[in-house]
A and B are shown apart, each in its own frame.
Chain A
Amino acid sequence: MPGNITRKFISVLLLLFITTGLAGCGVNAIPSLDEETTAKWSQVINQYQRRADLIPNLVEVVKGYAKHERETLTAVVEARSKISQMTIPKDILTNKNAFQLFQQNQGQLTSALSKLMLVVERYPDLKASQNYSNLQSQLEGTENRIAVARRDYIEAIKEYNTEIRTFPGRIWAALLYEDAEVKQNFTVENSKAIETAPKINLSQ
């Protein structure tokens, strides 16, 4: 029965190949997806930091033209200092409270900035100034980068979370990566806050 033995041999080979293939997939997938989420999260932090760095200049320039708008300016300054005083714990990606606090603080700065943008509309000299114009484009660019970084992060944790929750990943997680936890995602309400970020309408 050479035919039968050959088939058996091939089947065994195939099964071994498949199982080790899957196993290889699982064993490596979790740490590399984990690295990916960390990398994407760093990018999110970077872009938020970039935004925070623009604030002092922005406040100075606006003050130069609209110093009576104290409330609005103060709101921005306070939101920003809250963020810089915030400590980001190492486990932020699995720590729901810390993650949500982070979102909240950033969201506050976003709304403070939106209000500031509305105020600026009333000062055509300010709007027309070169300084403001540069800062405004940097701010818009940064908000866009934040949006992209968030989306990349969401993609990354989707992959990671799915891997550790579905077969065969969850087996490998249980066996080898006991500290692999589902990671936090941005919640919808804060997505809305980002979506209403200062964007100047140019089509007028």
Chain B
Amino acid sequence: MVWVVVVISSSKKIQFNRSNFSFLIMIIVMLLVAVTRIHASDLPFPKLTGRVVDNAYLLSDDVENKLTVLLKVHEDTTSNQVVVVTLNTLQGQTIEDFGYQLGRHWGIGQKKKNNGVLLIVAPRERKVRIEVGYGLEGTLTDAISKSIIDTVILPKFKSKNMSGGIVAGVNAMLPVLEGAEYRSTPKGFQFFTSINIGLIIHIILFLSVVILIAYFVLSEQLNSWEKFNRRDHIRDHRFNRRNDGYLNSGGHHGSSGRSGGFGGGGFSGGGGGFGGGGSSGGW
């Protein structure tokens, strides 16, 4: 190709007018396209919005914030990057296939150390996985991951306590990653207890709201009966619908939208690699 350039440049007869020029540019672009291979990414991966990516809406804002703080402190002290991710779909992949690809895509863990860990929960497919980066495979071994999943996480999942299972899993993993010896009954009670109290308070609030609504609706009813007006069917329906909303959503609180908490800004993967280490479980 170089001689083509030489020929062209030595030729004084070729007029480089506008149309020639743009033709040349076009040829160059075509050549570039022809030799460039575009890598289509196989899966649309969820965005890394923070240390806790809760796309399946299993965690309350409060739990999410608390976990984020815990994981940030862990990274500050050990440089390990641990991320919790809940997925609303595995997009037809096994959780093993999806897991390491997600870890690589997000680049969790520091580049040179490959010290990333993902706790992945896919409630629709009922699968959970602890995905361990190359650098931590010797610390958070497959056997320990399996044990954490079987003895700590799955029992809670099986009794439909998704949030508790995730919290307990993190509480079991972090000490191991910090170098503690693994015992199959981890100490994580402190953190969990505060969640419990939070739950109780939420339940009390919820009940009070229900009672208040019932009170107002009933007093409306009484008023309309007294005035001998038409029954306010619209209010009845609204009451029913709102009631169903609270009952069905279970753990997901009726309060409006999720703010980013402080998981959003500033967290990104350090470029760590994954080779398929870790363990999975299902329920």
Contact = CB atoms under 8 A, between A and B. Distances in A.
Nearest to A22: B35
A18 interface: yes
A144 B276 contact: yes
Interface of B: 1-2, 4-5, 8-9, 14-17, 21, 24-25, 28, 31-32, 34-35, 37, 96, 100, 126, 141-143, 145-147, 274-283
Contacts of A166: 35
A50 B31 CA distance: 46
Contact of B142 (A137, A167, A203): A137
A137 B283 contact: no
Contact of A137 (B4, B9, B24, B145): B145
Contacts of A25: 35
Contacts of B21: 7, 11
A145 B279 contact: no
Contacts of B1: 15, 19, 22-23
Interface residues of A, number: 32
Given A11-B16, A15-B5, A16-B5, A141 B277 contact: yes
Contacts of A144: 96, 276-278
B283 A14 contact: no
A15 B24 CA distance: 9
Nearest to B128: A202
Contacts of A203: 126, 282-283
14 contacts: A8-B9, A8-B14, A15-B1, A15-B4, A15-B28, A43-B275, A137-B147, A140-B142, A140-B279, A144-B277, A145-B276, A145-B277, A147-B96, A168-B35
Contact of A18 (B32, B100, B276): B32
A4 B15 contact: yes
Contacts of A4: 15-17
